[in-house]
Amino acid sequence: MIIEKTTSPIKVGVLGFGGLGQAAAKVLAPKAEMKLVVVADHQGYVYDSAGLNIDAAISIYRDRHSVGYLAQNGTLSSNSIQDVIKNAAVDGYFLALPNLPNTFMADVAKQFIQSGWQGVLVDALKRTSAVEQLLELQSDLQQAGITYLTGCGATPGLLTAAAAVAAQSYAEIHSVKITFGVGIANWEAYRATIREDIAHMPGYNVETARAMTDQEVAMLLDKTDGIISLENMEHADDIMLELAGICSRDRVTVGGVVDTRNPKKPLSTNVKITGRTFEGKISTHTFTLGDETSMAANVCGPAFGYLKAGMALNCRGITGLFTAAEIMPQFVK
């Protein structure tokens, strides 16, 4: 069993086929070590154990809003996640799903636990309170034989992991400051991401943002010229760095600017890690992402890197919940 998993491509599923889900499919297309066999959206799914036709899936989703309409292997379903878990043979899933309501991802994790499925799950969750719900499932995940890696996008994810590595120069960590810049051409390409960002704006919360119609979102963005500026966000980078033993969560801050009308980043995404060395010097390491890298590249790349790392753990019988700050992602070829 172990030999088979390390020699043949990892069979991957992507749940959620919006902005990130589709980018994830494109990221996987040229990979030899992973094969995308199933994707699901809220109206259906497409499964082919030989590997999906990614272009066909993306074009039917664009035209008809569900991969379930695909003539070949597409299935319409109002319970697509449950159906996929039951019908598809998959080693690991990237959960590119909206976390709306804020309990949604934990509910999906429970569905996997209850189904008896075993393998690797990776998410790109953002809120601290969402990761806290998963922590409560730690022993259930372990017993179920599931290796679950949470917070494996860009922030949390790539930047949190970079902070954990950078912290090693110091004897004490004073602050971790994450500032992100995101540029997207139109908000409709990433509806859940933008709604979840609006939920951090003053006067909004997850429930009010979730209840907004697309027209209401567009009207709000008209008022702000398409810009969402955020500071002191509830972001799981804090709990992840605390759990990894780097620093207490109150030393971690996250904020940023999202431009929903321009793919150019409004500012360079970076993380600054300030601390004291063993010699008593105070210093700051800065890790800055290249401006040409999109949000999709910085989320989907790490997500699959963590999925590969999760497979290695799972094959060794190591199950349960891990965060992007405790595991080193592997590079998917």
For residue 30 the two structure tokens come to 């040229």
Report how far residue 170's alpha carbon sits from residue 80's, in angstroms, rounded to the nearest whole number. 47
Q: Which of residues 10, 20, 239, 307 is near ligand NAD by CB under 6 A?
A: 20
User: Contact, 306 vs 240, CB < 8 A?
Assistant: no
By CB under 6 A, residue 98 contacts ligand NAD: yes
User: For tokens 């972001």, what's the residue?
Assistant: 235
By CB under 6 A, residue 190 contacts ligand NAD: yes
| Residues 133-162 close enough to bind ligand NAD by CB under 6 A | 153-157
By CB under 6 A, residue 295 contacts ligand NAD: yes
E strands in 201-262:
227-230, 252-259
Report how far residue 130's alpha carbon sits from residue 151's, in angstroms, rounded to the nearest whole number. 10
By CB under 6 A, residue 24 contacts ligand NAD: no
Host H or E run for residue 273 = strand 270-276
Q: How far is the CB of 20 from ligand NAD (least distance, A)?
A: 3
By CB under 6 A, residue 191 contacts ligand NAD: yes
Question: For residues 25 and 273, which CB has a smaller minimum distance to ligand NAD in the complex?
Answer: 25
Q: How far is the CB of 1 from ligand NAD (least distance, A)?
A: 29
By CB under 6 A, residue 254 contacts ligand NAD: no
By CB under 6 A, residue 241 contacts ligand NAD: no
From 17-25, 136-144, 278-286, 312-320, give the range in contact with ligand NAD by CB under 6 A.
17-25
Nearest of 63, 64, 93 to residue 81 by alpha carbon: 93
Q: How far is the CB of 91 from ligand NAD (least distance, A)?
A: 20
Dihedral, CA of residue 271, residue 30, residue 2 and residue 108, to nearest 10: 60
From 93-101, 132-140, 215-223, 259-267, give the range in contact with ligand NAD by CB under 6 A.
93-101
Sign of CA dihedral 100, 101, 103, 109: negative
Which positions are catalytic? 126, 196, 200
Q: What single letter denotes the amino acid at residue 6?
A: T
Q: Which of residues 97, 113, 240, 241 is near ligand NAD by CB under 6 A?
A: 97
Question: For residues 260 and 319, which CB has a smaller minimum distance to ligand NAD in the complex?
Answer: 260
Q: How far is the CB of 64 from ligand NAD (least distance, A)?
A: 12
By CB under 6 A, residue 289 contacts ligand NAD: no
Burial of 292-317, coded b for 16+ CB within 10 Å and e otherwise, reads eebbbbbbbbbbbbbbbbbbebbbee
By CB under 6 A, residue 84 contacts ligand NAD: no
By CB under 6 A, residue 9 contacts ligand NAD: no
102 dihedral zone (left: phi>0; alpha: psi -120 to 50; beta) = alpha
Q: Which of residues 12, 40, 209, 220 is near ligand NAD by CB under 6 A?
A: 40
